Amino acid sequence: MRSVGIKLLNNRLSQYVRLAESGETILVTDRDRVVAELGPLRESRSPVLADAVLADAVRSGMLTPPTLAGSGPPPKPPPVARLDEILAELDDSRSDR
């Protein structure tokens, strides 16, 4: 485990990111106080950014995953109106022309 100050981290960010990618944990300090931790991805974290953002949204409660995942296509919504009602309204609107 290494520690690095914010200024040095800023100057050599890519070097420290490569270290974290290889499995090392880096503690980020500001005035000798640990303020952050840079480390390798957790196994539960997807390496794809969109998946990671969605997973964080679910964890924070902003999104709710589907209750019946993988059970086929979603159900069709009920019709707004019956076809004969729609056709009658269409006939009424066209009779003014």
Q: Is 76 within the bounds of a domain?
A: no
Q: Is 44 within the bounds of a domain?
A: yes
Which of the two residues, 6 and 67, has the higher pLDDT score? 6
The pLDDT score that the predictor gives to residue 18 is 95
Count of the separate structural domains present in the chain:
1
Q: Whole domain around residue 55: which residue ranges?
A: 2-60
Average pLDDT, the chain: 86
Side chain identity, residue 73:
P
Q: Please tell me which of 41-45, 52-56, 81-85 the model is most confident about, judged by mean pLDDT.
A: 81-85
Output the pTM of the full model: 0.51
Q: Which residue has the tokens 């707004």?
A: 80
Q: Is 92 within the bounds of a domain?
A: no
Q: Is 42 within the bounds of a domain?
A: yes
- Which residues touch 71 (CB under 8 Å, ≥6 apart)? none
Order of all β-strands in the sheet with 26-30: 2-5, 26-30, 33-38
Q: How confident is the model at residue 72 (pLDDT cuts 50, 70, 90)?
A: confident
The pLDDT score that the predictor gives to residue 55 is 81
DSSP bridge pairs for 3 = 27
Phi/psi region, residue 48 (left: phi>0; alpha: psi -120 to 50; beta: rest), is beta
Side chain identity, residue 52:
A
Which pair of tokens denotes residue 81? 């109106």
